[in-house]
Structure 1
Amino acid sequence: MIDEGFQLHLPSVDYLDGLRAADASVNTERNYASRIALYLSYTAALGIDWTRPSLQNLSGYLRWLVNEPLPPRGRRPDPEPRHRRPGTANAHLGTVCELLRWSALRGLVPDTVINILAQPKYLVYLPEGLDPGEDGQNRTVRAKAIKFSVAVPGFEWLVYEDVGRMIAVACHARDKFLLDLLRETGIRIGEALGLRREDMHLLPNSTMLGCKIPGPHIHIVRRPTNANRALAKSRQPRWIPIGADTVNFYTDYQYERDEVPRAASSDMVFVNLFAAPLGEPMKYPSTYELFKRLAKAAGLEAHPHMVRHGTITRWIKDGMPRDTAQDLAGHASEVSMKPYVHITNKEMREHAQRVNEIQKARKTK
């Protein structure tokens, strides 16, 4: 984060340091940094003091976010201009508000600015688990004063066969293993990149490793010290069983990995084998792009987290108890599970037809 004079923008750096101290993921830090940089560039271009924006300034910035075309994704211009969605603009402004609140604690932003960021809102419908209070005092909360009204977004997911198509077009054993591991375990991409060899307990009996868990499995452990800064979201360690096919994919990958001498010294599971720096742990940006390329080659438009949605949905539909699925997924509460259980349009139609048939049968009695 640098200013127009190529000097560090210290308030922003201080805020990002705070995120890192709170063990925020590298992706969160990267996204927040780009949003803050965009806000600072916008205010500097218009001569606005970033520490003292008015309500009109922030509203104008929100409109600018959706009206300003995005830069081209490659060297060639996009066929049609691309724009941010209102939900994305809301997320940008939310990060700006967090920066302003953080800076207010350090005396850089006046309270008058903080007071315009939120306004009282009465909750007619309470979120699940919220106690309204004896006199309903908890129904009034502070809500964002400036935001676009957007519909609740839908969630996309990849079914088992979709990931199979990606595995089929992958050229390298490492990439096939990564895809299969995501599909079978439902782990986040950051959790996969944070795996170390000591986490792979693939024998029928792991007592020699000091582990009493029977059967092949992997351990997910949050490690802020990972060189690639891959971080498990949950602070609670967990283990996930894996099947024979996943073990076979891992074995094939080990043969491929052994052909790269520089990979021998790394204790990380996923390392660079085909591009510099060889043997170094894979990082999120390059892995994300790899996933996108494989998805495109398989005729799909997808991102890694869609695999997790598909896996958890499959667990529930196959009869796994929800509390077991919650533990395997690493969710702290059942509420966190709700966005991950999906139903297809075909299934919705089949359910509706069954209800109609039951109703018809009742009428004929």
Structure 2
Amino acid sequence: MPAAELDRQSVRYLRHLAIERGLSANTVAAYRRDLAAFTGTLADRGIHESTQLDGDILRGYVAGLRDRERPLSAASVARTISAIRGFTRFLVEEGAIARDPAESLAAPKLPQRLPKALSHAQVEALLAATDGDDPVRMRDKALLELLYATGARVSEAVSLAVDDVIGVDGTPELIRVIGKGDKQRIVPVGSYARAALEAYLVRARPLLATGGRATGALFLGARGAPLSRQNAWLIIRAAAERAGIGVEVSPHSLRHSFATHLLAGGADVRVVQELLGHASVATTQLYTHVTIEGLRDVYQQAHPRAR
């Protein structure tokens, strides 16, 4: 049985996102899940053609996301609306429909969530928990030091190749990071991360590489295959448990800490934006609220007439 027209258009749209707009595989996968649920629900109601879409149908679908037995969170609803809006705009641009039925589709307002950063002491404890001379611990040390030194996302770190480490006189000095949308940025590496990377590349990675096929990936698993994002997250969680820092550590914790500590130390927000690979400075400015909260706490404690 041939696929319905809406399903075919959905496949074309996802291909457009991946190839022409260069969105990350994770983003495309999220859109794929949301659109599959959307077109599947519409198919159950006898809606198979893009020309059948209108504002009432879309609003009814979104309302159903909130009213079901296990309603979606506001963030999930907002993401679904974003997927639908992008899809219907694509349909208009491709000439499949004359008017965008999602023009009046309102997304829920989301509370601004401040990123949680670790303190300097907590970061030190986390990094110290990776100390060791065996190849796996040396790899873990290099990975966590790199994440904190560069603010790279975990997915970006595990995608690094050995050739992305730019050295001067044999010492790692810079990292070439490929971010969202395949955008490249060059990030400097601090002395602690340089030492950890150099030790890993010289003493540990050759031993790990003997267990698998030849690969140019920077970070390798115990059997020589490229380290996965899931394994990297397990490494971070295990280090946090050994460190006993007493707070929940997420895959983004070191990235958030990198940005917050730079801004608290006086770095320009535009520089931090470039280092993080943010498309908009507004995203980076979220971290300035974190540092302002810290300044307010110090002020309240230290100024004799603050309370």
Give the TM-score range, shorter chain.
Answer: 0.7 to 0.9
Alignment CA distance shift 1:322-1:148 (3 Å): closer
Alignment of 1:145-184 (within 5 A): 145-167=105-127, 172-184=137-149
Alignment CA distance shift 1:354-1:50 (3 Å): farther
Q: How many residues align?
A: 296
Q: Which residue of 1 aligns with 2:176?
A: 220
Gaps of 5+ in 1: 71-82, 120-144, 207-214, 223-230, 361-365
**Is this contact kept in 2: 1:183–1:308, CA < 8 A?**
yes
Q: Which residue of 2 aligns with 1:20?
A: 18
**Is this contact kept in 2: 1:326–1:337, CA < 8 A?**
yes
1:314, distance to aligned residue in structure 2 (A): 0.4
Q: Between Structure 1 and Structure 2, which shows a larger proportion of helix residues?
A: 2
**Is this contact kept in 1: 2:269–2:285, CA < 8 A?**
no
**Is this contact kept in 2: 1:316–1:322, CA < 8 A?**
yes
1:95, distance to aligned residue in structure 2 (A): 0.4
1:267 to 2:216 alignment: yes
Question: What is the rounded CA distance, in whole Å, between the counterparts of 2:155 and 2:261 in structure 1?
Answer: 21
1:351 to 2:307 alignment: no
1:282 to 2:281 alignment: no
**Is this contact kept in 2: 1:62–1:93, CA < 8 A?**
yes
1:89, distance to aligned residue in structure 2 (A): 0.5
Q: Which amino acid aligns with 2:38?
A: Y
| CA offset digits 1:84-115 (Å, max 9, x no partner) | 3212201111101211221233333342xx1x
1:289, distance to aligned residue in structure 2 (A): 5.7
Question: What is the rounded CA distance, in whole Å, between the counterparts of 2:180 and 2:91 in structure 1?
Answer: 28
| CA offset digits 1:120-153 (Å, max 9, x no partner) | xxxxxxxxxxxxxxxxxxxxxxxxx322233333
Q: Which residue of 1 aligns with 2:36?
A: 37
Alignment CA distance shift 1:15-1:339 (3 Å): same
Larger radius of gyration, structure 1 or 2? 1
Alignment CA distance shift 1:156-1:98 (3 Å): same
Q: Which residue of 1 aligns with 2:78?
A: 90
Question: What is the rounded CA distance, in whole Å, between the counterparts of 1:291 and 1:333 in structure 2?
Answer: 28
Alignment CA distance shift 1:4-1:63 (3 Å): farther
Question: What is the rounded CA distance, in whole Å, between the counterparts of 1:96 and 1:301 in structure 2?
Answer: 33
| CA offset digits 1:212-250 (Å, max 9, x no partner) | xxx74222243xxxxxxxx45573532313213552355
Question: What is the rounded CA distance, in whole Å, between the counterparts of 1:40 and 1:258 in structure 2?
Answer: 49
1:40, distance to aligned residue in structure 2 (A): 1.8
1:323, distance to aligned residue in structure 2 (A): 4.3
**Is this contact kept in 2: 1:202–1:218, CA < 8 A?**
yes
Q: Which amino acid aligns with 1:54?
A: D
Question: What is the rounded CA distance, in whole Å, between the counterparts of 2:80 and 2:218 in structure 1?
Answer: 34
Alignment CA distance shift 1:9-1:234 (3 Å): closer
Alignment CA distance shift 1:163-1:61 (3 Å): farther
1:306 to 2:236 alignment: no
1:287, distance to aligned residue in structure 2 (A): 3.9
Match of 2:277 among 330, 334, 337: 330
Gaps of 5+ in 2: 131-135
1:269, distance to aligned residue in structure 2 (A): 0.4
CA-based RMSD of the aligned residues comes to 3.6
Q: Which residue of 2 aligns with 1:188?
A: 153
| CA offset digits 1:289-308 (Å, max 9, x no partner) | 65456556755434322321
